[in-house]
C-alpha cells in the first residue's frame, strides 16, 4: 500500500493556501464562500481518504493527524459558507484553538517522522493563531494567521513532494528527516512489534 501522506499534505496545502489568500485580503471578502466550497469539495475529501488509508496502513499517527485536519478544514469551510463575508466568529475561534491543541498529540507521538511532525506542529500553530484572530477580531492577528498559513502551505507542499518521491523510488530523494523505519530497512526490524499492534492482539 502506498503512503497516504502526499495526498493528505496536498489537501492541506490547498486548504491553508486558499484561506491564507482570504485572510491576507489578496482577494475580496465575498470570495470566501467560493474558497470555502472549493476546500469542502477538494481538501476535505482527499484528507479524509488519507486518514482512512493511514489507519489501514497501520499508521495511527498519520490517520489521527489527517482525521483532525479533515474535521478542522470541514468546520472552517462550513462556517465560512454560513457566515457573513469578512466576519469573524468567536465560536469558530474557540474550535480552532482546541483543534490546534489536539493536533500536537499525533505530532508528539510521531517525532520519528520529523517532517510529518513539523507539518502537524505548524498546522496546530496556524489553527491557534487563527483562533485568536477569530475570537479577538483584531486584524493584525488575522494577518499573522495568513502568513503562518503561507508558511504551512510551503512546508506541506515540500512534505507532499518528499514523501511522494520516497514512495515512488523506495528511498529518500530529497530529505524527509525520517528516523528509524525508513523504507528499505530490514524486514525483521520492521515487523518485530507487529504482534503487539492493535488489530493483531486480542484487545485494543
Q: pTM of the prediction? A: 0.86
Does residue 69 lie within any of the structural domains?
A: yes
What is the three-class DSSP state of 93? helix
Does residue 108 lie within any of the structural domains?
A: yes
Domain of 163, CATH number, reads 1.25.40.600
> Is 185's pLDDT higher than 60?
no
- pLDDT tens digits, 106-146: 999 988 889 999 999 999 999 999 999 999 999 999 999 99
SS (H, E, C) 4-72: CHHHHHHHHHHHHHHHHHHHCCCCCHHHHHHHHHHHHHHHHHHHHHHHHHHHHCCCHHHHHHHHHHHHH
- Least Cα distance to 78 among 25, 42, 132, 39 occurs for 39
Does residue 204 lie within any of the structural domains?
A: no
- What's the pLDDT score for residue 111? 87
Does residue 27 lie within any of the structural domains?
A: yes
Does residue 173 lie within any of the structural domains?
A: yes
Does residue 155 lie within any of the structural domains?
A: yes
Domain around 79: 5-196
- Least Cα distance to 130 among 121, 143, 119, 114 occurs for 143
Spell out the residues 6+ positions from residue 130 whose beta carbon is closer than 8 angstroms to its own.
23, 93, 96, 142, 145, 148, 149
Does residue 201 lie within any of the structural domains?
A: no
Amino acid at each position: 500500500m502506498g503512503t497516504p501522506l502526499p495526498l493528505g499534505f496536498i489537501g492541506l496545502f490547498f486548504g491553508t493556501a486558499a484561506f491564507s489568500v482570504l485572510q491576507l485580503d489578496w482577494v475580496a471578502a465575498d470570495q470566501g464562500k467560493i474558497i470555502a466550497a472549493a476546500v469542502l469539495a477538494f481538501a476535505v475529501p482527499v484528507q479524509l481518504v488519507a486518514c482512512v488509508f493511514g489507519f489501514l496502513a497501520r499508521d495511527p499517527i498519520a490517520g489521527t493527524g489527517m482525521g483532525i485536519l479533515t474535521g478542522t478544514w470541514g468546520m472552517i469551510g462550513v462556517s465560512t459558507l454560513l457566515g457573513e463575508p469578512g466576519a469573524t466568529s468567536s465560536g469558530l475561534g474557540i474550535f480552532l484553538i482546541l483543534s490546534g491543541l489536539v493536533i500536537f498529540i499525533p505530532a508528539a507521538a510521531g517525532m520519528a517522522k520529523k517532517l510529518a511532525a513539523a507539518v502537524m506542529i505548524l498546522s496546530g500553530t496556524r489553527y491557534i493563531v487563527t483562533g485568536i484572530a477569530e475570537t479577538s477580531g483584531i486584524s493584525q492577528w488575522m494577518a499573522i494567521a495568513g502568513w503562518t498559513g503561507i508558511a504551512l502551505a510551503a512546508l506541506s507542499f515540500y512534505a507532499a513532494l518528499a514523501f511522494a518521491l520516497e514512495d515512488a523510488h523506495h528511498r529518500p530523494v530529497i530529505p524527509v528527516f525520517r528516523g528509524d523505519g525508513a523504507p528499505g530497512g530490514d524486514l525483521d526490524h520492521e515487523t518485530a512489534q507487529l504482534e503487539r499492534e492493535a488489530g493483531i492482539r486480542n484487545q485494543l
